[in-house]
Every structure is written in C-alpha cells, then in structure tokens.
Structure 1
Amino acid sequence: MSPQLVLLVNPAARGGRAVRLLGPVARRLRAGGADVSVIVGDSAPDALERACAAVAERPDALVAFGGDGLVHLAVQAVVGTDVPLGIIPAGTGNDIATALGVPRKDPMAAARVVLRGRSRLVDAARIQAGQADEVFAGVVCCGFDSRVNERANGLSWPPGMAKYLLATFQELRRFRPIPFRITLDDDEPIEREAMLVAVGNTSSYGAGMRVCPDAQPDDGLLDVMILSALSKAEFVRVFPSVYRGVHVAHEAVSVRRVRRVVLEAPDVVAYADGERIGPVPVTCEIQPGALRVIA
C-alpha cells in the first residue's frame, strides 16, 4: 500500500523562491510510490487547522515543506500523536532539520529521507507566555536576540538574512543589559543582568548559530544558556564565536540542563523556533519523547 503523505507548504519560504521546488519534490515523492496531498493555508491559523484535520485522518506522515517557522506550526499538529513529522527544508535557516540530520540544502535528498520513512522519538517542549501555550522543537530566545527578531519583523527591506543583520546593528546601538529573574527546576531564582537567555531543545537557531551547542533533542532535558551583561565592545567580539559554539567557554556564559525553566524580565518578547510567542514571563518545560520524526 502506498504511504499517505500530507505535504504542508509555506509558499512564502525564502521570499517565495522555494515554492519553485514544490513541483519537483512532489513528483519525486510520487515517483517513490507515495500518495501525496498538499496543504497551503490562507494564513498560519488556517494552515494549522488544515494540518490538524489532516493528522486526524492518520496519514503516514505530515511533511513540512518550508523553514523552521513552518516546522514549528507542523509540530503543533503532530505532537502527542503517532503521526511522524517529515521535513523538506526550504526556508532560510532550517536549524531544526539540521539537528535531526535531514539534508538542509538538498530538497531531493530530504525527500528520499521521507520516502524511507524511518522514524524515531525526540523531545518537544511546552512554552507558555500569557495566553500563548505552544510546543517548540528547537530554541527559545529571550533578550537581545528576540529584540532583533522584533525589529526585523518590522522591516520590509532588505530581504532574507540581510534584514536580520540590519536589525542586529540597529538594536545594538540602543541595547542595554536586561534584569532577568531565572528559575531553573525547583532551585532558588537567579537574579542577573544578562544580554540574553536561550532555552534549547536543539543546538542552533538563526541559520547555524550554535547557541546551545551541546543540546540534544532526545535527552529529556533543556539546555539553558545565559549570557551575562557585557560591554558592547566585548559582546561584538564574542558574538561570532556562537557559530562554532565556543562562546560557552567565555566567563560571562553559563549553561544549565533542566526540565523546566521560568524566565521573567521587563520589556522582553519570547520567540520559539523563530516564531513570536509573546511577552515574558515565560515557562518552558520538556516533554520527553513527545514527537515522532522522520530522520
């Protein structure tokens, strides 16, 4: 019997350029013997509603064709079910796909991974901020990085990663360390001025920034990386080392592995998997083995 695959598509991935790959990918999946249906929502809520309805029909996989934002949406539909999540990376960052060993730059190779259908259980994590209650697979950011996201989302130009570089320079001019209150599991709260706090189920965000370099998606724990207050000059000096994950050796960086973390801070918005969740305070809690993925 042919595997039933539901392809969830973000037509805006890579500024709309990735949709040109949709036809070849769908043909490759069908040539491999799969019965493929395609979902394109009119909006994110509409896409999620359609994805949930499709998962309720118990296909062999829900396959996200897009970047980390679309994977985040697909996770909401499949988490806690036995329907596996497949990924065809077609976004700008594709960090979650990378963490799961899916070829991030070769959609046809990713399609072959989906056709093999080998799945495994990984962790997900619940994030709550005000009325928002979602699940994430990758990294939560709070602080300088999330403020850059807020700023970049307000820019219509330039496209792609250039928008985030511009937003980084703009935010750096006005940024001041943020007073955080951080509660790790049941320990006494930590009160500290910090540049940012990242909570990682996987290791990277922002197209390869290994902010939580040792985070593993199947260890039942979250990695909490705290970058304490630095001068702007030192921050700029240290920042490039995040791409190699060696920033964790800096004296201002601390990393803890926990099952639950509560972050409190003024004027900070949390982002998860690159998607806006809502204003802090925010609570993140691991859900071991809650997500089945094709990898």
Structure 2
Amino acid sequence: MTGGERLRIGLVINPTAGKNTGARIGREAASLLAAGGHDIVDLSAMDGAHALERGRDAIVGQSVDCVVVAGGDGMVHLGVNLVAGTDIPLGIIAAGTGNDNARELGLPVRDAAKAVERITHGATRRIDAVRHVTPHGDERWFVGVLAAGFDAVVNERANGWNWPKGRMRYNLAIARELGVFKPIPYVVEIDGSRHETKAMLVAVANGPAYGGGMKVVPSAEFDDGLLDVLIVHELSIPTLLRVFPRIFKGTHVTHPAVEILRGGHVRLEAKGIVAYADGERFEPLPLECEVVPGAVTVLT
C-alpha cells in the first residue's frame, strides 16, 4: 500500500489473544487507522466461523481493500483462509502469545503503531500458502506449520481440559502424554514417493516456527514453493526428552533420528491423529495438502 491512499480495511480482532492484550492492541490499531483517514469495516464476530463468514461476504461484495487481523497465529490462520487465492492483501497486527508467523515474516510484535505503519505505508510480499481440500470439497489453508505427531496429540489432550489456563495447561498435557505416548506408524507420501515409518513427530512446514518460538524446521521458507516435512523417527522417551528442547534453537535437526524431506504435495496417514495447523485444530489424518506458490499477499 502507498502512503496517503484511503483504504477500506476489513478488521478482525481477537479480544482474548495474548492474555487479553489482543483487544487493547486491536482497538489502538483501529483508532490509528481511523485517525489516518481510513474506513474501518468491523468483521469481528463471536467466533472464528462467523468472522470467516463475514469476511468472505465482504471480499465477495468488494467492500474492503484489504483484511487486517489483530491477534496471534490463530488470527493469521483465519486471515489466510479469507484471502488465500485472492488479490486482497493481508495485514497482521501481532498481539498473541506466540506470534510465530508474524515474527518469522519480520513483522512487529505487540506494537500497534509499527504494525499500522507497515499496513498503510509498507510494501507487499507474496508468500506461499498450503491448501487442503476436505472430503466435502471445502478448501482449508495454513501458512505456518502443520503438526501431526506428539505435538498434535498434546494439543488435542490440552484442548479437552478447561483448567488450567494458558501455557500451564499444555505443560501438564505434555507431562501426561509422555507417560503413555508410543511411536506412531505413519505413511508419508511426498510428490508420490511413499515412506513408511514409526515416528514421534511429523510436521509439514511452510514457515520455520511454531509453539511460541520453536524452530521446528529452521530451513523452511515462506516463498520457496516447497514444503519441508520433518520426521522424528522412533526414539525412547528419555531420548525424546533430551532432543525436544533443542527445537527452540533448531539444533534438533542434526540428530540422526531427524529427517527432513521436501516437496510440493504431501499426504499423511496415521490412525487416531488430529492435525493442528498454525496452532488451530485442522483435520484428522489421513490428509493431503499442497503448497500454492504466492497464494497470499502480506502487507509488510
């Protein structure tokens, strides 16, 4: 976007993101955008499904020039599902807890003024997104990392609890899962090449990080037209406990049990696994996904 252009901005705010800082930063950004002479079209809703519906209606009706989301990786996920495959650019006001995709894209974090500056005066960048077509024919997209192993199992367990809140719930879920987790038999197909293995973790990465700073696939790039598939092959639980913390620096990839494969089309098959993408509950396996180069325009 060029400075001085009056924009019709479709704004979606997650008020609970970042321990409720999403509402504060979102409102601050909305005030700054309005003060800059832009028209704000509030697309926020009671939940993500209704926000998607409102956003799609606005895009189809050509009532917005761009979509801006305020929140964490879940809101980026929502924004990507709104604009992927269109020419509508996506602005990101990172106000969540993890903010992995925003951070890896070089965007400001928890700073409304800097985020607004990028949205109104910055350049645009085309990045890849990953498309999955459900059995009902609906398209679902993600832009960061799809988790389909131990990490996804922990997410599923944690999301079944109402207490405790925040990070502690996931730490407790990890502790509970470690006591019963066993290597999972997988079929991983990449561009038609079939791999059968028992693994602790399988992740499909368009971006390099997830989980609040975990560099799960440090070699992944948002605009290289490829997916990086990380496989952590069968390990003992004590070895997994030694290797897993290295994920925060990305040094786990040198371990002999870790393999990274690359391709454009990925199919994952395993029993009892629900995949999570951009931290959001996505789809149960088996699932197929493909990278779509340049599918999303980000205001950077």
Aligned residues of 2:25 and 2:70 also touching (Cα < 8 A): no
Aligned residues of 2:21 and 2:95 also touching (Cα < 8 A): no
Aligned residues of 1:269 and 1:278 also touching (Cα < 8 A): yes
Q: Could you tell me how far apart the structure 1 residues matched to 2:139 and 2:175 are? A: 31
| Deviating 4+ runs (over 6 angstroms) | none
* SS of alignment partner, residue 98 of structure 1: helix
Offset of 1:196 from its aligned partner? 1.0
Residue deviations 1:142-181 (CA, integer Å, cap 9, x gap): 0100001101111222222222111111111110000011
Partner of 1:170: 176
Structure 2 residue 34 is the aligned partner of structure 1 residue 30? yes
Find 1:145's aligned residue among 151, 155, 161.
151
Aligned residues of 2:41 and 2:64 also touching (Cα < 8 A): no
Structure 2 residue 83 is the aligned partner of structure 1 residue 75? no
* SS of alignment partner, residue 179 of structure 2: helix
Q: Could you tell me how far apart the structure 2 residues matched to 1:133 and 1:161 are? A: 30
Q: How many correspondences in the alignment?
A: 294
Question: Following superposition of structure 1 onto structure 2, how do residues 52-131 of structure 1 map, counting pairs within 5 Å?
Answer: 52-56=56-60, 57=62, 59-128=64-133, 130-131=135-136
Offset of 1:60 from its aligned partner? 2.6
Which amino acid is 1:75 matched to? V
* SS of alignment partner, residue 219 of structure 2: coil
Q: Could you tell me how far apart the structure 2 residues matched to 1:194 and 1:107 are? A: 41
Q: Could you tell me how far apart the structure 1 residues matched to 2:244 and 2:27 are? A: 39
Offset of 1:32 from its aligned partner? 2.9
Find 2:189's aligned residue among 165, 183, 191.
183
Residue deviations 1:68-97 (CA, integer Å, cap 9, x gap): 111111111111111100100111111111
Partner of 1:235: 240
Q: Could you tell me how far apart the structure 1 residues matched to 2:187 and 2:261 are? A: 15
Partner of 1:283: 288
Q: Could you tell me how far apart the structure 2 residues matched to 1:266 and 1:13 are? A: 32
Q: Could you tell me how far apart the structure 1 residues matched to 2:165 and 2:158 are? A: 10
* SS of alignment partner, residue 117 of structure 2: helix
Q: Could you tell me how far apart the structure 1 residues matched to 2:134 and 2:182 are? A: 23
Q: Could you tell me how far apart the structure 1 residues matched to 2:119 and 2:166 are? A: 27
RMSD of equivalent CA atoms: 1.5
Find 1:154's aligned residue among 153, 160, 171.
160
* SS of alignment partner, residue 174 of structure 1: coil
Aligned residues of 1:14 and 1:160 also touching (Cα < 8 A): no
Residue deviations 1:208-240 (CA, integer Å, cap 9, x gap): 111111100100000000000111111011111
Aligned residues of 1:210 and 1:245 also touching (Cα < 8 A): yes
Structure 2 residue 275 is the aligned partner of structure 1 residue 264? no
Moved more, 194-203 or 88-97: 88-97
Q: Could you tell me how far apart the structure 1 residues matched to 2:116 and 2:21 are? A: 18
Structure 2 residue 15 is the aligned partner of structure 1 residue 8? no
Residue segments in structure 2 that go unaligned for 5+ positions in a row: none
Q: Could you tell me how far apart the structure 2 residues matched to 1:21 and 1:160 are? A: 19
Which amino acid is 2:165 matched to? P
Offset of 1:289 from its aligned partner? 0.7
Partner of 2:220: 215
Q: Could you tell me how far apart the structure 1 residues matched to 2:240 and 2:38 are? A: 49
Offset of 1:110 from its aligned partner? 1.5
Partner of 1:48: 52
Aligned residues of 2:73 and 2:278 also touching (Cα < 8 A): yes
Moved more, 71-80 or 175-184: 71-80
